[in-house]
């Protein structure tokens, strides 16, 4: 793969079009999984059921913001050959360990949502107890993580396949639910009372994930060997294409989730559907068993893939911030314990999943602010230093996301 990438960078080789781009595709697909995790399922379905197509513009806006953030993270890895956690430890050594503690707590909250989503999908699809769904989820994700031993490509292909399953499942959902032309009105920015504003904030909060900001820089660092600033510029250009394809697909899938929920539930007055189990059970009488199975398969693919990606991110964060790592099987075991505790305690999976999204809100500034600071430094980034316009836009996005998540936290605890 590196040889093929080197041919492209040096202007050699006969490949054209997609074949020429293939060696550079992959990192953004792994990162994009975090934008289609079970937390997104919960917020998108609730948004579509309660408000119809009203909040489609919120998903579009959140996706565009996420694209810029992930672009900066990917570029950081390409320009410096180091990932964001490594740079935090190198530049701010006094805060490295406190940073690691909060990042681990956020990682556990991330994994809780993803692990519960997959376990719930096993229960819905195969009618097995939730605890056994959790056991199967653990086994499958262990298997996925072993692919890392074979290099980055097998893992990227596996994750891309899961993304394909999610996309195909929601194509089935759209065909069966048949959203009307009125869906286009959902791209006009507006709200319908404080509840819609609160849910819009929740959608944005479920979109930008701190762990994948750390991870994307690790996925691109030294992935394609570069020997000059010109090489790094070419790799960064290819990375932007990778990002547009993967994150564009993630945006379409999220909008399809909300549109399908609007056409299925909101259109017949079932505006109170917010629980994933209720959504699955309601789909069969409304659209037939095929739609329910497609929903379950999408949730399963989302939970399994995002759980594996979350474990990868945890490894990157620990290694980068503490210069110490533990075996991936041990990390997988530790981070899945909260999910087993929730299941054994009999807590509602969907409510716990949504609570985990609130916890994630705490971690966003810790990842986003250093990213913006480092990508603006010419001594680190060289020719890939972010432009003034990108810096201003980045800080505006960061301020908006941090402010909205602060509002979400306040409303959650005050309300």
Say what the pLDDT of residue 379 is: 92
Token pair in block for residue 233: 């510029």
Cβ-based neighbour number of residue 75 at 10 Å: 26
Q: Report the C-alpha gap between 357 and 379 in whole angstroms.
A: 36
Element (H, E) at 362: helix 349-375
Give residue 165's pLDDT band: very low, low, confident or very high (50, 70, 90): very high
- In this predicted model, what pLDDT tens digit does every residue of 21-51 receive, in sequence order? 777 778 899 999 888 888 788 888 888 999 9
Q: Which position has the token pair 């065909």?
A: 175
Say what the pLDDT of residue 8 is: 60
Return the half-sphere exposure (C-beta side, CA atoms, 13 A cut-off) of residue 349: 31
pLDDT at 86 over 90: yes
* Average pLDDT score over residue span 377-395: 94
pLDDT at 1 over 60: no
Say what the pLDDT of residue 43 is: 84
List CB contacts of 43: < 8 A, sequence separation 6 or more.
199, 202, 203, 205, 206, 354, 357
Cβ-based neighbour number of residue 158 at 10 Å: 17
* Average pLDDT score over residue span 361-382: 90
Which pTM value belongs to this model? 0.89
Q: What is the DSSP letter of 347?
A: -
Say what the pLDDT of residue 385 is: 94
Top pLDDT among 394 and 340 is at: 394
* Average pLDDT score over residue span 247-265: 92
Residue 142: exposure state from Cβ atoms within 10 A (0-12, 13-18, ≥19): middle
Three-state SS sequence of 149-169: HHCHHHHHHHHHHHHHHHHHH
Are 233 and 99 in contact by the 8 Å Cβ rule? The answer is no
Are 338 and 265 in contact by the 8 Å Cβ rule? The answer is no
Query: DSSP of 64-101, one letter per residue?
Result: HHHHHHHHHHHHHHHHHSS-HHHHHHHH-GGGHHHHHH
Three-state SS sequence of 253-291: HHHHHHHHHHHHCHHHCCCCCCCHHHHHHHHHHHHCHHH
Top pLDDT among 356 and 302 is at: 302
Q: Give percent of the chain with pLDDT exceeding 70.
A: 91
């Amino acid at each position: 793969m590196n040889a093929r990438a080197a041919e492209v960078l040096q202007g050699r080789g006969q490949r054209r079009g997609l074949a020429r781009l293939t060696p550079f595709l992959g990192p953004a697909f792994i990162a994009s999984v975090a934008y289609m995790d079970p937390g997104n399922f919960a917020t998108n379905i609730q948004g579509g059921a309660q408000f119809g197509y009203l909040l489609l513009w919120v998903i579009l806006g959140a996706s565009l913001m996420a694209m810029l953030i992930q672009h900066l993270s990917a570029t950081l890895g390409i320009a410096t050959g180091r990932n964001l956690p490594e740079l935090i430890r190198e530049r701010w050594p006094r805060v490295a360990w406190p940073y690691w503690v909060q990042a681990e707590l956020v990682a556990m909250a991330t994994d809780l949502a993803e692990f519960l989503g997959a376990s719930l999908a096993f229960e819905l699809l195969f009618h097995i107890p939730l605890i056994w769904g959790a056991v199967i989820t653990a086994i499958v994700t262990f298997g996925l993580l072993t692919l890392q031993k074979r290099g980055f490509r097998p893992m990227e292909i596996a994750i891309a396949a899961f993304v394909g399953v999610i996309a195909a499942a929601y194509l089935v959902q759209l065909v069966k639910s048949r959203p009307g032309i009125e869906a286009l009105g959902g791209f006009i920015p507006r709200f319908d009372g404080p509840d819609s504003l609160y849910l819009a904030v929740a959608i944005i909060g479920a979109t930008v994930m701190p762990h994948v900001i750390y991870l994307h820089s690790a996925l691109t660092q030294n992935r394609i060997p570069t020997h000059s600033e010109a090489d790094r510029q070419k790799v960064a250009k290819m990375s932007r294409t990778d990002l547009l394809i993967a994150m564009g697909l993630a945006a379409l899938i999220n909008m399809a989730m909300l549109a399908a929920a609007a056409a299925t539930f909101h259109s017949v007055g079932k505006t109170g559907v917010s629980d994933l189990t209720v959504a699955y059970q309601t789909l069969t009488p409304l659209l037939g068993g095929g739609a329910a199975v497609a929903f379950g398969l999408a949730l399963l693919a989302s939970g399994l893939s995002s759980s594996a990606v979350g474990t990868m991110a945890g490894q990157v964060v620990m290694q980068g911030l503490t210069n110490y790592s533990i075996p991936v099987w041990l990390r997988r075991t530790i981070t899945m314990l909260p999910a087993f505790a929730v299941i054994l305690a009999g807590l509602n999976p969907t409510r716990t999943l949504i609570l985990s999204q609130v916890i994630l809100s705490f971690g966003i500034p810790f990842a986003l602010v250093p990213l913006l600071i480092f990508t603006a430094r010419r001594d680190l980034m060289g020719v890939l230093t972010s432009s003034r316009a990108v810096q201003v836009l980045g800080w505006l996005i960061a301020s908006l996301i941090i402010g909205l998540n602060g509002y979400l936290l306040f409303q959650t605890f005050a309300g």
